[in-house]
Chain A
Amino acid sequence: MFPGNKNAITRVLLGMPNKQKRFDVLLNALYADVYRYAFWLCKNKPMAEDLVQETYLRAWKNFQNLKDEKAAKAWLFTIVRRENARQYERFQPELLDASEVSLVDTGISPGDNSEYYLVQQHIANLSIEFREPLILQLIGGFSAGEISLILDVNKNTVLTRLFRARNKLRQLLLGKAVTKGVNNG
């Protein structure tokens, strides 16, 4: 009644070693970006690690659903996104303010007065509505069209949110630069 997909059946029949190899390639190539996306989504290191583990477990179990390995990154990022939403519904963590954001694993400490630390704080302080399209673009390397599919909003909305995210970050950083200039005389 419902005709199956012969290519998918063929892939399954190729067996475990092939699946294992393909999975390992995806894991090694993409796990760092998957982690970065998870971290900047939830802004919490332990939670990000859980998200990534859960994502790859689901990916392994549903590996036969990945038709085109060029779409692997979008597929994995979508799973992270869904897992994050599920975790949020389950635990409803308190909103973290900037001082609680667990950025210590970046290796940059507030004491450095490092510009990167400031930028990280500003990114973390963006609301999720503006932060997520930005990190999908910069970490995932996705186009606005691809981001619209992942976020399930139209492309113009994505472009508007990217505009507002960068505009805000630029204003914040320019403000800091002006303040520094004034302080230095």
Chain B
Amino acid sequence: MDDLEFRRRAYAEPDCLDQDFIEYKNSSLENTKFINELQSLEDKLKLSLHIKAPQELIENIKLQQTLESHQASRKNIQLWSIAASIFIAVLVVLNYPIHTTELSSEGLSNSVLEHIYHELDHLHEHQNRSLAQVNHLLAEFGGNISQGLGQVNYLGSCDIANTQGVHIVVQGEAGPITVMVLPEVNVRSQQVIRDKRFKGIIVPGKKGSIAIVGEKSESLQALKDELAVQFHWI
């Protein structure tokens, strides 16, 4: 270690306990004095940052959380009532199948494509994200990937299809592939996405869906199979 490195580390982490740092600090009176000055500054910074948190805030948070729980419970009761009504209705109309899934799947597919077109720039980014960074974001949305997806060029959260989800772009063979993790967006079966430029699939999961979209010439099967093994809802 030299003086420059010592000062750089001291300013960045004055409480550093690394052995080499401590030894260098103790190696001269000047170094020890310097660290003592920085510790004094550190104490002032900590005391200055330690402002009082308003007590009424914690009460408001508890109240808000209680209201949210009550609303969720009431919503559950209402949902059960609706479910019971639907069950009875289904018994009555069983001979008259109604195709609603195609409309809803078309809506979701269109939302995914609209989002990709709206954010086309992301297909050309080169952020080079690590697996840890991907999982750090996925954790907020209830997901995790055990192993890498290859080269991750873009990572972000977005509003997609009336929900908050994770927008990832990975490098495919024919070009960039968009992967959208959509928590609480449920589809009954795998949906196809197709237009003049892109093709893709929406895959249902336990707590949401995943959309995988690439250029028309891209083979998506390998990535789909990889995600089936490596992606988990948590």
Write the residues of chain A forming the contact surface with B, with a CB cutoff of 8 angstroms.
1-5, 8, 16, 20, 23-24, 27-28, 31-32, 35-36, 39-40, 45, 49, 52-53, 56-57, 60-62, 64-65, 67, 75, 78-79, 82, 103, 105-107, 115-116, 119-120, 123, 134-135, 137-139, 144, 149, 152, 159-160, 162-163, 166-167, 169-170, 173
Contacts and interface: CB of A to CB of B under 8 A. Distances in A.
B97 interface: no
Contact of A56 (B65, B132, B140, B203): B65
A31 B54 CA distance: 10
Interface in B27-46: 38, 41-42, 44-46
Interface of B: 8-9, 11-14, 38, 41-42, 44-54, 57-58, 60-62, 64-65, 68-69, 132-133, 136, 139-142, 144, 157, 203-207, 210, 227-228, 231-234
A35 B41 contact: no
B52 A106 contact: yes
A28 B11 contact: no
A184 B137 CA distance: 54
Nearest to B46: A138
Given A1-B204, A2-B210, A116-B44, 11 more contacts: A4-B232, A23-B65, A52-B57, A57-B65, A65-B142, A75-B139, A78-B136, A105-B51, A138-B42, A144-B12, A149-B136
A84 B205 CA distance: 31
A36 B157 contact: no
A31 B58 contact: yes
A65 B41 contact: no
Nearest to A52: B57
B21 to A, nearest CB: 13
B8 A82 contact: no
Contact of A169 (B41, B60, B65, B204): B41
Contacts of A149: 132-133, 136
Contacts of B141: 62, 65
B48 A152 contact: no
Contacts of A31: 53, 57-58, 61
